[in-house]
Amino acid sequence: MHRIAILSLFILTLPTWLWCQKICGYITSKNNGEAIIGATIYNETSHTGCITNDYGFFSLNTGAGLQSLRVSHINYIPKTVNVTIGGGETVFNFELEALNDTIEEVAVTASTLNPTRKTQNLHQKILSANELQKLPLPFGEPDLIKALQIQPGIKNTADGSSALFVRGGRNDQNLILIDEAPIYNTTHLFGMVSVINADALNDATTHTGVIPANTGGRLASVIDVKTREGNLKEYQFCGGISPFALRMTHQGPIIKERASYLVSVRGSYLDRFIQAGNSYNFVPSFLEINGKINAKLNTRNRLFLALYKNNDHLKSFDGLSNTWGNSILSLRHNYTPYQNWFINTSLIVSQYHNQIAFNDTLRQFSWTTGIQDYLGKMEGTWYLNNTFKLNGGIQLTLHQYTPGTGSGNEEIVPNTQYLERSCFVRGVFTAEYLKTDMGFRYSQFSELNDGSTFYQGLEPRINFISTLSQSLQLQAGYGRVFQYDQLLQNQILPYSSIESWIPSSSFIFPQHADVFTLGIQMTHKKCAVLVESYYKMLTNQPDFVDHAKILNNLYAEQEIRQGKGKAYGLEASINQSFGRFQSGISYNWSRSLLLIPEIQSTGWYPAAHDIPHDFRLTGTYKTRKRWEFSALWVFHSGKPTTLPIGLIYQHPRYVPIYSRRNSARLPVYHRLDIAARLYPKNNSTRYKSSLCFGIYNVYARQNPLGYQFDFDPIEGNIKAYQYNFIRIFPNITYTLEF
């Protein structure tokens, strides 16, 4: 039956892709020559179109003769080009000019009318570097992770944290990729700044619902970050300074129109003036660098070499120090053997290390953890016609885990090596009012040391998007995902430097989830209403036993218990534009629950990131001249916590007796952030600058990070001490580009 269906599909589509004219090429920016991801090319003659891939490539079937092609993107000025299509292979490359502030509103309105964008994925969010600069972000530093935290369905449980909790998932259930390389720690400066430098960012695509079949390995989300390729036309410098970081980026052509480079450096500077002591218990610092080389070898071959490295350091006055960092090296090759084929081959090295050390009169030891990946993959896309493309690929990853290595007489957790193999097939059918994205992914995970561990999983994925009318769109999907490693980390605190990635083993089984989604979007003029729901059935969810010991523990994995989980929720948002004023309102109701009898025998209990109610209000206003104002108000339920309900005396001190796991909650969380951006009068096409003034937590709300409990022997009771983040934080950021 399956063979008959496949043969029928082949016969039906054969005339359309065998005898029609095919054109292909790249859509790039006229300003710097970089590829434009997600641009649309629409044939106004035949009323068909397509969208560029992650490298700006498109393949379009057309008729012969004179054709009218409209090329557009939401951040660029659309244009229409008349071309004559002849026989054989035809290559057309198009350039679009970036929008300026005076025509941005008109262009965005026009782009929404493009028929090729009628079937967009509702739970796929694309955020560009330009859009990131305009969001009301805390601490004055443009930050992708902080921008994602204010999106519907993505939560953060405490001030200053870079953690992401997506639709009931844990922080370690997000796959974050920088130029296809996985990143295992996104934190700078206690989480106040993330590892992704906005000056080096091209755009980021976030999948929060059914993850496409070409990606896997995490249960909650995939955040695919593409960095800039480097200016192919002219040399360019940009930089900026904020309260927490100084950043500089330089890019330009190596060979004009053929090869380019980009180097971006960012680092903290306050540690040069502040020393750990009585006034400051801890002083953090960081330094990171992005590098990239982009080369057009010929019309069919392109080569990309990307580098990222960061080093973070935390030092205290009492001898505690902590260093951690990510390092990635990514080599990618694009090859287009035919006008309807695109092949990408990648070789990647990713490394993460974390070391905590004590050096005082009482303690002299260090503890090192980490993970190193060697990854190779090949992925190909076959554009059969304008409505159907077939995508497939294979991937091999060698994981080298360092769960914990101690110095001196400390115990050492043995290092392990695992091989992860995966392959996928994905078919995408796109019509004017219907899009179907379906496929499957098969993965294996096996230990190389002694071969005692072997796991495998088949992951079907399917997503339907239907445009019922010009203003109404419906989406439904199902997907299964597997995750073969997990993070050992203190889940109580919003930031913890004690963490370790460990693989699935004979003690810890792979996590997997079945995800169901349903959503509807309604648009009317300049108003968009989006309502989405989801339900997740989770298996082998981990949680720590009471008083678990993570650091310097040879049997740390035995501190984990596993069980069932479920996460479900409803998300509603309204975005409205009133001329120069834009507003957004969102409300999320969700639950994330666990059932682990060895943790709590009385039934389901809230996960540490269970936030039932979440309300957000955003607004931006741009004057006719030089000012742009923005504001963000956040209100959500307090995070779950476990509080003591009594004391028991164990010589020589009292020990608290705790309630059921996560049976209490912290007070409700809310804060208001405001920002104002000033563009100087002397800004020109050559020199641009801006000055941003902001206030984090305007009304100085004391949102607790947690509590510390001590026994008062005089009064004979327990006293609670609340600890908070920064109550109010004014900031100024200056940015220069030329």
pLDDT (tens digit per residue) in 163-190: 889 999 999 999 999 999 999 998 888 7
Give per-residue pLDDT as tens, 569-587: 999 999 988 888 888 999 9
pLDDT at 553: 73
For residues 37 and 157, membership in a common domain is answered with no
DSSP 299-350: SSEEEEEEEEEEEEEEEETTSEEEEEEEEEEEEEEEE-SSTTEEEEEEEEEE
Q: Choose one of 98, 115, 150: the last residue of a domain.
A: 98
* Number of separate domains in the chain: 3
CATH number for the domain including 218? 2.170.130.10
Residues 727 and 697 sit within 8 Å (Cβ to Cβ): yes
For residues 148 and 258, membership in a common domain is answered with no
pLDDT at 228: 92
Which among 313, 175, 302, 192 is positioned nearest to 243, based on CA atoms? 192
Q: How confident is the model at residue 646 (pLDDT cuts 50, 70, 90)?
A: confident
Residues 690 and 737 sit within 8 Å (Cβ to Cβ): no
- For the cut 70, the answer to whether the pLDDT of residue 285 exceeds it is yes
pLDDT at 101: 46
Query: Rounded mean pLDDT of 488-508?
Result: 77
Q: How far apart are CA 265 and CA 203, in angstroms?
A: 18
The residues facing 432 across adjacent strands are none
Pairing status of strand 688-696 against strand 669-678: antiparallel
Which among 424, 417, 502 is positioned nearest to 451, based on CA atoms? 417
- Residue matched to tokens 């080009």: 81
- For the cut 50, the answer to whether the pLDDT of residue 113 exceeds it is no
Query: Rounded mean pLDDT of 71-99?
Result: 83
For residues 207 and 245, membership in a common domain is answered with no
Give per-residue pLDDT as tens, 219-228: 999 999 999 9
Residues 184 and 194 sit within 8 Å (Cβ to Cβ): no
Residues 705 and 666 sit within 8 Å (Cβ to Cβ): no
Pairing status of strand 613-622 against strand 174-178: unpaired
pLDDT at 121: 66
Instruction: Choose from 50-54, 319-323, 642-646 the range with maximum mean pLDDT.
Output: 50-54
pLDDT at 497: 63
Query: Rounded mean pLDDT of 26-31?
Result: 89
Residues 358 and 365 sit within 8 Å (Cβ to Cβ): yes
Give per-residue pLDDT as tens, 447-479: 997 778 899 999 999 999 998 888 899 999 999
- Does 284 reside within a domain? yes
The dihedrals phi and psi of 53, each to the nearest 5 degrees, come to: -85, -165
CB atoms within 10 A of CB 161: 22
- Does 271 reside within a domain? yes
Q: How confident is the model at residue 483 (pLDDT cuts 50, 70, 90)?
A: very high
Of 565 and 679, the structure prediction assigns the larger pLDDT to: 565
| Maximum C-alpha span of the chain | 94
Tell me the CA distances in angstroms from 573 to 102, 222, 517, 522, one per residue in order.
Answer: 28, 21, 16, 11
For residues 233 and 216, membership in a common domain is answered with no
Query: Rounded mean pLDDT of 508-530?
Result: 92
pLDDT at 373: 96
Q: How confident is the model at residue 118 (pLDDT cuts 50, 70, 90)?
A: very low
Please report, rounded to a whole number, the percentage of residues in the chain having pLDDT higher than 90.
Answer: 41
- Does 11 reside within a domain? no
- For the cut 60, the answer to whether the pLDDT of residue 705 exceeds it is yes
Instruction: Indicate the SS3 state at residue 361.
Output: coil
Give per-residue pLDDT as tens, 344-365: 999 999 999 998 887 776 667 7
The dihedrals phi and psi of 590, each to the nearest 5 degrees, come to: -155, 160
The domain of 406 spans 226-737
Q: How far apart are CA 338 and CA 22, in angstroms?
A: 10
Instruction: Indicate the SS3 state at residue 87.
Output: coil
Q: How confident is the model at residue 117 (pLDDT cuts 50, 70, 90)?
A: very low
Q: How confident is the model at residue 89 (pLDDT cuts 50, 70, 90)?
A: low
Query: Rounded mean pLDDT of 274-296?
Result: 83
Instruction: Indicate the SS3 state at residue 173.
Output: helix
- Does 270 reside within a domain? yes
pLDDT at 557: 80
- For the cut 70, the answer to whether the pLDDT of residue 280 exceeds it is no
The dihedrals phi and psi of 221, each to the nearest 5 degrees, come to: -160, 165
Tell me the CA distances in angstroms from 117 to 69, 121, 243, one per residue in order.
Answer: 15, 10, 40
For residues 217 and 231, membership in a common domain is answered with no
For residues 160 and 303, membership in a common domain is answered with no
- Does 105 reside within a domain? no
pLDDT at 535: 97
Tell me the CA distances in angstroms from 407 to 359, 411, 412, 574, one per residue in order.
Answer: 12, 8, 8, 55
For residues 67 and 211, membership in a common domain is answered with no
Query: Rounded mean pLDDT of 429-437?
Result: 87
- For the cut 80, the answer to whether the pLDDT of residue 555 exceeds it is no
Of the listed ranges 207-211, 333-337, 387-391, 726-730, the least confidently predicted one is: 726-730
- Does 4 reside within a domain? no
The single-letter DSSP state of residue 642 is -
Q: How far apart are CA 127 and CA 104, in angstroms?
A: 16
For residues 270 and 202, membership in a common domain is answered with no
Q: How far apart are CA 39 and CA 72, in angstroms?
A: 6
CATH number for the domain including 534? 2.40.170.20
Q: Using omega within 30 degrees of 0 as the cis cutoff, is the peptide bond preceding 142 cis?
A: no
For residues 147 and 296, membership in a common domain is answered with no
> Structure tokens of 180?
């296809």
- For the cut 70, the answer to whether the pLDDT of residue 120 exceeds it is no
Of 514 and 656, the structure prediction assigns the larger pLDDT to: 514
Q: Which residues fall within 8 angstroms of residue 651, CB to CB, at 6 or more apart?
A: none
For residues 171 and 231, membership in a common domain is answered with no
Please report, rounded to a whole number, the percentage of residues in the chain having pLDDT higher than 70.
Answer: 88
For residues 245 and 208, membership in a common domain is answered with no
- Does 103 reside within a domain? no
Q: Choose one of 174, 191, 225: the last residue of a domain.
A: 225
- Does 580 reside within a domain? yes
Q: How confident is the model at residue 1 (pLDDT cuts 50, 70, 90)?
A: very low
For residues 249 and 215, membership in a common domain is answered with no
Q: Choose one of 186, 201, 225: the last residue of a domain.
A: 225
Residues 738 and 237 sit within 8 Å (Cβ to Cβ): yes
Question: Alpha-carbon torsion 503, 506, 507, 509, what sign?
Answer: positive
Show the DSSP H helices in 126-279 as ranges: 129-133, 144-149
- For the cut 50, the answer to whether the pLDDT of residue 16 exceeds it is no
CATH number for the domain including 48? 2.60.40.1120
pLDDT at 107: 34
Instruction: Kindly provide the residue ranges of all beta strands, DSSP E only, lying in 407-505, ordered along the sequence.
Output: 412-413, 416-430, 434-447, 454-469, 472-483, 485-489, 499-503
